[in-house]
């Protein structure tokens, strides 16, 4: 604490966010990968208009577009005048081209004996029947539909059936609370809800329909509920409103001609994806049809170096997150991919489940989140070592900055030291990957998302809106539109301007901090709301967390600030240890010194709370806002989107204990 104070008094800094981490490891592409890569030299030099006009050719248009884009910040439109159908592009055209027998999804249930290969023609039949069922329920172009399911085959089928009819959907994470669900149903004006009886989770079942029934008390606009029977568990059915999936589909045609793909305008609403703000009501992020699909398909092709004939691709995210929309469903299917779709958790029945899956299908491309990688690190490399992972040729990361230690572990223990890693930065609002290595071209650095995707114009600005030079930290902005950019917040244009466009007028402000290094590579520093101010130094969370994670006994760490009389704010670290290691005062001292040595005494946590789990969202992001509340002994804000709400209660107790110990 005194170190920080002295340093702060001696050297107040001008930077918007200070950076201290030095990472010198470099991983250039191999010649063999480069030779076969989808991204070839010259791609970064492509003209913006040429690039997005040419890439639009990946998609089949019913009517060709006439204007590439229109841009009047904050409003963007792409491929004006074009008409298309997303389901046609993701399903029908592959069948028509003779690729109907190709596997679209290797679906695998949580019970390991449920393996269902779904070919493109199977997918088409399922989608057509279900679209016919929705039509019978009165769904047509423009009808808002909600989907509240786990990772069952019916989930992508329901999404594609909606897009076939031109009905916009919102997918709500299976397991969100009744309140979270009803807020979204009401905000979008949903008339129909598609769900399942129960979801399977870690060997037990979680009732979804029972949550739906509670949610619908507050969402009277929903007039029909379709219930897929995943477990055939007992559920209450409301006559006149609820119908099982099978009953809704009974006797209906699976002939594509019986339910043609609705031609949609490029700018018609495709879906809403709600993101929870801190306390305010969730924002319905709008995505439209043409630009979104071009953006998802193009980035999926180049970033994952995807080869439809030979790759087995696995994005191990949940479809209820934007990552699942763009990189399990729409991007990969538009590109005719063969994917793995897995229902369960990584540690059920055992901690090698994922590696068993990689071996079973010969997965070549794996895309996951740092939180999952850190869990596997915590469990130990021996689980991966039991399986043949030699099919893997490319690894991806998304969702949070990846700690360099986790990046190296992923490369060594999962990628066998031979696979390029793409650390992909993007958001619900961006719809598609925007900052990423291109495998075969980019020299990667652990912890850096490296370069903007071709055609994407990114900058890092200081408080005053000036560009910061190499090495400086600041605010990440986008200066030009891209096809997948959100068209707004559903029903709330003012909030849209306010949240994203008012900090730097005319520029899209992502809410993230970033630094650019001497090579022009980007290092994401986390949400600017999480930046801490210690004795006049503005510190990002990631570097301190990564310093902690680089200690051999630390599995995972998150830092937050609490008020401090001397330094303004003081850092509190929440640390999960590996294996059987125990927290102690000696351990705390060791970790504080470790941070001091690895980055700077300024960054030394004032205290450390040891905890078996950190509070995370369903998509695995650490909720530092809640940690701030815990560190400050404040009542907790909204916890409804937590993966496991019990975690914070326990944390509060531990933090109270630690604080008492300090005094
Ligand atoms: C795709 C997704 C968006 C926020 C974003 C960042 C963080 C995502 C990375 C990352 C550093 C990454 N959509 N984020 N990817 N930070 N490096 N590769 O996560 O809407 O759920 O979240 O996630 O803070 O603003 S999201």
pTM confidence score: 0.94
For tokens 């592959």, the residue is: 94
| pLDDT for position 402 | 96
Q: Which CATH superfamily is domain 31-454+462-515 in?
A: ANL, N-terminal domain (3.40.50.12780)
For 34, residues 6+ apart whose C-beta sits below 8 A from its C-beta are 440, 441
What number is the average pLDDT over the span 130-143? 98
Decide: residue 617, CB within 10 A, 0-12 exposed, 13-18 middle, 19+ buried: middle
If you measure from the C-alpha of residue 427 to the centroid of ligand 1, how many angstroms do you get, rounded to a whole number?
5
Q: Is the CB of 428 under 6 A from ligand 1?
A: yes
Indicate the Cα dihedral angle 646, 650, 651, 652, nearest 10°. 110
What number is the average pLDDT over the span 63-71? 98
| pLDDT for position 12 | 39
| pLDDT for position 645 | 77
For ligand 1, atom 22, name the residue with the nearest CA. 427
| pLDDT for position 582 | 85
For ligand 1, atom 26, name the residue with the nearest CA. 427
Q: How far apart are CA 542 and CA 522, in angstroms?
A: 14
Q: How far apart are CA 506 and CA 478, in angstroms?
A: 10
Q: Shortest CA distance to 104 belongs to which of 308, 352, 305, 368?
A: 308
For ligand 1, atom 16, name the residue with the nearest CA. 400
If you measure from the C-alpha of residue 447 to the centroid of ligand 1, how many angstroms do you get, rounded to a whole number?
13
If you measure from the C-alpha of residue 499 to the centroid of ligand 1, how many angstroms do you get, rounded to a whole number?
16
Does residue 371 contact residue 402 with C-beta atoms inside 8 Å? Answer: no
b/e 282-300 (16+ beta carbons within 10 angstroms → b): bbbbbbbbbbbbbbbbbbb
Q: Shortest CA distance to 469 belongs to which of 19, 159, 12?
A: 19
| pLDDT for position 586 | 94
For tokens 């719809």, the residue is: 431
Q: Is the CB of 449 under 6 A from ligand 1?
A: yes
pLDDT at 274 over 70: yes
- CA contacts within 13 A on the Cβ side of 497: 8
Q: How far apart are CA 540 and CA 400, in angstroms?
A: 13
If you measure from the C-alpha of residue 511 to the centroid of ligand 1, how many angstroms do you get, rounded to a whole number?
10
| pLDDT for position 21 | 72
Q: Is 473 helix (H, G, I), strand (E, B) or coil?
A: strand
- What are the start-end ranges of the H helices in 492-549? 493-496, 541-549
Can you name the residues that pair with 66 across neighbouring β-strands?
none
φ/ψ of 378, rounded to 5, equals -60, -40
pLDDT band at 663 (very low <50, low <70, confident <90, very high): very low
Which of 276, 323, 371, 399 gets mutated to test ligand 1 (max ligand atoms within 8 A of its CB)? 399
For 586, residues 6+ apart whose C-beta sits below 8 A from its C-beta are none
For ligand 1, atom 4, name the residue with the nearest CA. 427
For tokens 């409301």, the residue is: 238
What number is the average pLDDT over the span 165-186? 95
φ/ψ of 464, rounded to 5, equals -85, 0
pLDDT at 6 over 90: no
Q: Lowest-confidence range among 12-21, 252-261, 374-383?
A: 12-21
Which of 292, 398, 448 gets mutated to test ligand 1 (max ligand atoms within 8 A of its CB)? 398
pLDDT band at 278 (very low <50, low <70, confident <90, very high): low
If you measure from the C-alpha of residue 524 to the centroid of ligand 1, how many angstroms do you get, rounded to a whole number?
9
What number is the average pLDDT over the span 345-353? 96
Which of 303, 425, 511 gets mutated to test ligand 1 (max ligand atoms within 8 A of its CB)? 425
pLDDT at 640 over 80: no
Peptide bond into 74 cis (omega under 30): yes
Q: Is the CB of 524 under 6 A from ligand 1?
A: yes
Q: Lowest-confidence range among 81-95, 202-216, 273-287, 560-574?
A: 273-287
In 517-650, DSSP assigns E strands to 522-527, 532-534, 537-539, 554-564, 568-577, 607-610
Instruction: Write down how long the chain is.
Output: 663
Which of 272, 436, 524, 643 gets mutated to test ligand 1 (max ligand atoms within 8 A of its CB)? 524
Q: Is the CB of 435 under 6 A from ligand 1?
A: no
What are the sequence ranges of the domains in the chain?
31-454+462-515, 532-661
Other CB atoms within 10 A of residue 468 CB: 19
pLDDT at 593 over 70: yes
Does residue 414 contact residue 394 with C-beta atoms inside 8 Å? Answer: no
Q: How far apart are CA 178 and CA 161, in angstroms?
A: 25
For ligand 1, atom 1, name the residue with the nearest CA. 427
pLDDT at 614 over 90: yes
Does residue 472 contact residue 15 with C-beta atoms inside 8 Å? Answer: yes
- The 3-class SS string of 629-646 reads HHHCCCCCCCCCCECCCH
Q: Is the CB of 424 under 6 A from ligand 1?
A: yes
For ligand 1, atom 10, name the residue with the nearest CA. 400
Asked whether the CA dihedral 396, 86, 310, 157 is positive or negative, the reply is positive
If you measure from the C-alpha of residue 424 to the centroid of ligand 1, how many angstroms do you get, rounded to a whole number?
8
Does residue 374 contact residue 346 with C-beta atoms inside 8 Å? Answer: no
Q: How far apart are CA 404 and CA 406, in angstroms?
A: 5
| pLDDT for position 14 | 57
Q: Which CATH superfamily is domain 532-661 in?
A: ANL, C-terminal domain (3.30.300.30)
pLDDT at 530 over 70: yes
| pLDDT for position 549 | 95
What number is the average pLDDT over the span 314-330? 98
Does residue 281 contact residue 96 with C-beta atoms inside 8 Å? Answer: no
What number is the average pLDDT over the span 137-147? 98
Does residue 85 contact residue 61 with C-beta atoms inside 8 Å? Answer: no
Q: What is the pLDDT of residues 392-409, one digit of tens each?
A: 999 999 999 999 999 999
Q: How far apart are the first and last CA of the chain?
A: 14
pLDDT band at 660 (very low <50, low <70, confident <90, very high): very low
In 197-255, DSSP assigns E strands to 198-201, 204-207, 224-228, 242-244
If you measure from the C-alpha of residue 423 to the centroid of ligand 1, how many angstroms do you get, rounded to a whole number?
10
- What are the start-end ranges of the H helices in 363-409? 370-379, 382-385, 404-409
Question: 3-state DSSP: the chain helix, strand, coil percent, rounded to 5?
Answer: 35, 25, 40
616-619 long-range contacts (CB < 8 A, ≥24 apart) are: 616/371, 616/642, 616/643, 616/644, 616/647, 617/641, 617/642, 617/643, 618/173, 618/175, 618/176, 618/318, 618/320, 618/321, 618/642, 618/643, 619/317, 619/318, 619/321, 619/323, 619/369, 619/399
Can you name the residues that pair with 149 across neighbouring β-strands?
173
pLDDT at 93 over 90: yes
pLDDT band at 579 (very low <50, low <70, confident <90, very high): confident
Supply the mean pLDDT for the chain: 94
Q: How far apart are CA 71 and CA 429, in angstroms?
A: 16
Q: What is the pLDDT of residues 472-522, one digit of tens each?
A: 899 999 999 999 999 999 999 999 999 999 999 999 999 999 999 999 999
Which of 400, 407, 623 gets mutated to test ligand 1 (max ligand atoms within 8 A of its CB)? 400
Q: Which ligand 1 atom sits closest to the C-alpha of 321?
A: 21
Q: What is the pLDDT of residues 96-120, one digit of tens each?
A: 999 999 999 999 999 988 999 999 9
Does residue 433 contact residue 425 with C-beta atoms inside 8 Å? Answer: yes
pLDDT at 437 over 90: yes
Q: Shortest CA distance to 399 belongs to which of 428, 375, 378?
A: 428
Q: Shortest CA distance to 154 belongs to which of 118, 185, 181?
A: 118
pLDDT at 379 over 50: yes
């Amino acid at each position: 604490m005194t170190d920080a104070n002295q340093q702060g008094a001696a050297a107040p800094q001008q930077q918007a966010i200070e950076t201290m981490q030095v990472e010198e490891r470099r991983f250039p592409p191999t010649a063999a990968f480069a030779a076969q890569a989808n991204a070839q030299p010259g791609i970064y030099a492509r003209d913006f208009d040429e690039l997005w006009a040419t890439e639009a050719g990946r998609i089949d248009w019913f009517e060709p577009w006439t204007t590439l884009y229109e841009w009047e910040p904050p409003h963007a439109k792409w491929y004006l005048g074009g008409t298309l159908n997303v389901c046609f592009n993701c399903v029908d055209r592959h069948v028509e081209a003779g690729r109907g027998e190709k596997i679209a999804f290797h679906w695998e249930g949580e019970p390991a004996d449920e393996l269902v290969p779904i070919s493109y023609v199977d997918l088409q039949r399922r989608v057509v029947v279900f679209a016919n069922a929705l039509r019978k329920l009165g769904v047509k172009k423009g009808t808002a539909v909600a989907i509240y399911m786990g990772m069952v085959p019916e989930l992508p089928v329901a999404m594609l059936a909606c897009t076939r009819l031109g009905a916009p959907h919102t997918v709500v994470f299976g397991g969100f609370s009744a309140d979270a669900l009803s807020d979204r149903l009401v905000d979008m004006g949903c008339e129909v809800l598609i769900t399942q009886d129960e979801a399977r989770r870690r060997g037990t079942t979680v009732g979804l329909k029972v949550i739906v029934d509670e949610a619908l008390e507050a969402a009277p606009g929903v007039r029909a509920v379709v219930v897929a029977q995943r477990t055939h568990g007992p559920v209450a059915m409301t006559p006149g409103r609820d119908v099982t999936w099978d009953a809704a589909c009974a006797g209906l045609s699976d002939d594509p001609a019986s339910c043609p793909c609705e031609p949609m305008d490029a700018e018609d609403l495709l879906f809403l994806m709600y993101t929870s703000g801190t306390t305010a009501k969730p924002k319905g992020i709008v995505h439209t049809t043409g630009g979104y699909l071009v953006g998802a398909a193009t980035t999926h092709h180049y970033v994952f170096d995807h080869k439809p004939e030979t790759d087995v691709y696995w994005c191990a995210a949940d479809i209820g997150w934007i990552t699942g929309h763009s990189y399990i469903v729409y991007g990969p299917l538009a590109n005719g991919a063969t994917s793995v779709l897995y229902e369960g958790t990584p540690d059920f029945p055992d901690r090698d489940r994922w590696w068993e899956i990689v071996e079973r299908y010969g997965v070549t491309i794996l895309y996951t989140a740092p939180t999952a990688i850190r869990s596997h690190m915590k469990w130990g490399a021996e689980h991966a070592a039991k399986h043949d992972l030699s099919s893997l040729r490319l690894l991806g990361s998304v969702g949070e900055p990846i700690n360099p230690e986790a990046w190296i572990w992923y490369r060594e223990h999962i990628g066998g030291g031979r696979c390029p890693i793409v650390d992909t930065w993007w958001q619900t609002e961006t719809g598609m990957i925007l900052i990423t290595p291109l495998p075969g071209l980019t020299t990667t650095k652990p912890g850096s998302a490296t370069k903007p995707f071709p055609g994407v114009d990114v900058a890092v600005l200081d408080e005053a809106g000036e560009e910061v030079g190499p090495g400086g930290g600041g605010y990440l902005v986008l200066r030009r539109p891209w096809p997948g950019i959100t068209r707004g917040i559903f029903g709330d244009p003012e909030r849209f301007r306010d949240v994203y466009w008012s900090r730097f007028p005319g520029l899209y402000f992502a809410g993230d901090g970033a630094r650019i290094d001497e090579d022009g590579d980007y290092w994401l520093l986390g949400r600017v709301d999480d930046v801490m101010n210690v004795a006049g130094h503005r510190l990002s969370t990631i570097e301190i967390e990564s310093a902690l994670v680089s200690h051999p006994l630390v599995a995972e760490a998150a830092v937050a600030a609490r008020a401090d009389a001397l330094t303004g704010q003081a850092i509190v670290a929440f640390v999960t240890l590996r294996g059987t290691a125990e927290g102690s005062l000696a351990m705390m001292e060791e970790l504080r010194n470790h941070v001091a040595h690895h980055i700077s005494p300024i960054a030394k946590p004032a205290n450390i709370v040891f905890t078996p789990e950190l509070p995370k969202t369903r998509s695995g992001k650490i909720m530092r806002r809640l940690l701030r509340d815990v560190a400050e002994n404040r009542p907790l804000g909204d916890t409804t989107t937590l993966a496991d709400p019990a975690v914070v209660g326990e944390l509060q107790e531990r933090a109270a204990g630690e604080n008492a110990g300090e005094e």
